[in-house]
Structure 1
């Protein structure tokens, strides 16, 4: 285990709240995900017009990533050597259902391209990468439950082989109005050592 890697910041979106490094930066009592995420987008000054064309999973991942990466004060004009390792358990099920409905609602097979494009969970990684010019390694894994060990191993491997300077990783799960995002940024500096115990602790806090 390499203790030189640290968690420099983390963001959680769950139960109508958005928090950064353990402090709530936005909350809204609206239990409807669509209304909540739009209000959070406006309040947090996300400022990305394409946001409204995304599916729900991408909106959730994008907003959490935006909170973290804005906190890093990245230069928007430069490429950023940040890899992405995401995971969840339901894949793109929320959008898959909408895709199936778009087929059933038509006499002929002609599903909506705007929905179909989001029927892979890793599309949310592309949305984040476009805004922040992230052209390093990326992956999206499907597990039965949050898997801290896998995130740890993949992240440490990317960093130790010099494939990236930082890794944005975590869990982004959405099914209807049931949603949860936990993202954290791993670098070579920070106050929290990047190990399984700390990842689990932050996730469960």
Structure 2
């Protein structure tokens, strides 16, 4: 993989207003999910919030903490790109659009409303406010990390804002809770990190927090979640983790731990546990409910941010039971972060502590 560094992190979900906030709660063993829907951090002036739907506002509120903190002035407008992903897109806007369409007819549907039903509508407010004119794209149901590395490798951009966003929708949430295997699989929030190449860091002077050294993405259609049924095979997860380790050029024994994509004590957990132990039984496993209770794309990005903070502090979570989370010390400098979407898209990312 091309050498890329994480130089800024941001995000919020039902656990906290930032990765640092969530990490501090982990240290104090005070992580407790708030009920959905959650409040968006009030860090934007009213004139910037005005007219934005929750989907777009969530992403802008999350990313402001990065873009206001790092130095990007040394880069040109076309040197900074944006790459985000979503599982469900602008839920409320789309449902309102469909309601108006069926109720009032096509001639009465607002063109302005129609314009923000597309998934990438949330990128506009960020690019306009911060004058980001580099390569920009919105993915669906897949982690943006591997594609981000490829985009940086082509040298089309020097820096890339990478993340995910989803909003709470009661109807979608109910669909998840109806299936036991999915009841913890839905959340809302937004999260991102800034990726820079070594050449970009030389210009900006931004301090790296971590380095992404390996990433793999595999798709297995047999894992599509339907009616609470999930196959017992874990081969596709093992394949993804082995590919990430191969690209990182490190053995599994060098990992400080693995942020799992599954909560403990469910079917997906046992699949992932089997896959990890088939690679190296000694690797420290960190179930998802150590940090949160969802395996959505937003959580996958936040987990990378929190893993970077863990390596920086030399402490990682250890779970004895869901109510007893402790931080244990580690001298190892690598972490693996796994993630899976509802359509069976599995991603494994390996990061290294920055020097």
TM-score, normalised by the number of residues in structure 2: 0.47
| Partner of residue 209, structure 2 | 191
Higher relative contact order (CA 8 A, sep 6+): 1
Q: CA separation in 2, counterparts of 1:32 and 1:89?
A: 17
How many positions carry a matched residue from both structures? 187
Q: 1:135 aligns with which of 133, 136, 140?
A: 133
TM-fit CA distance, 1:97: 0.1
What's the CA shift for 1:171? 1.4
CA distance in 2, matches of 1:51, 1:72: 22
Mapped contact 2:158–2:196 kept (Cα < 8 A): yes
Whole-angstrom distance in 1 between the partners of 2:305 and 2:166:
13
Q: What SS does the corresponding residue of 2:188 show, helix, strand or coil?
A: strand
CA 1:67/1:136 → structure 2, altered by over 3 Å: closer, same or farther? Answer: same
Q: Which residue of 1 aligns with 2:145?
A: 152
Q: 1:171-182 alignment to 2 at 5 Å?
A: 171-176=164-169, 178-182=187-191
Query: 1:96 deviation in Å?
Result: 0.5
Question: How do residues 1-205 of structure 1 correspond to structure 2 at under 5 angstroms?
Answer: 1-2=1-2, 4-15=3-14, 17-20=16-19, 22-23=20-21, 31-33=36-38, 36-37=39-40, 40-41=41-42, 44=43, 46-47=44-45, 49-75=47-73, 79=77, 81-106=79-104, 109-143=107-141, 147=143, 151-176=144-169, 178-188=187-197, 189=201, 190-194=208-212, 195-196=214-215, 201-202=303-304
Give the superposition deviation at 1:118: 0.8
- 4+ runs deviating over 6 angstroms: 197-200
Which consecutive residues of structure 1, in runs of 5 or more, have no partner in the other structure? none
Q: CA deviation at 1:108?
A: 6.9
Deviation of 1:111 (Å)? 1.2
CA gap of 1:48–1:68, structure 2 versus 1, over 3 A, is farther
Measured at CA, do residues 48 and 65 of structure 1 come closer, stay the same or move farther in structure 2, by a change above 3 Å? farther
> Which consecutive unaligned segments of at least 5 residues does structure 2 have?
25-33, 171-186, 202-207, 216-243, 245-258, 260-299, 308-355
Distance 1:116 1:50 in 2: 21
- Secondary structure, aligned partner of 2:104: coil
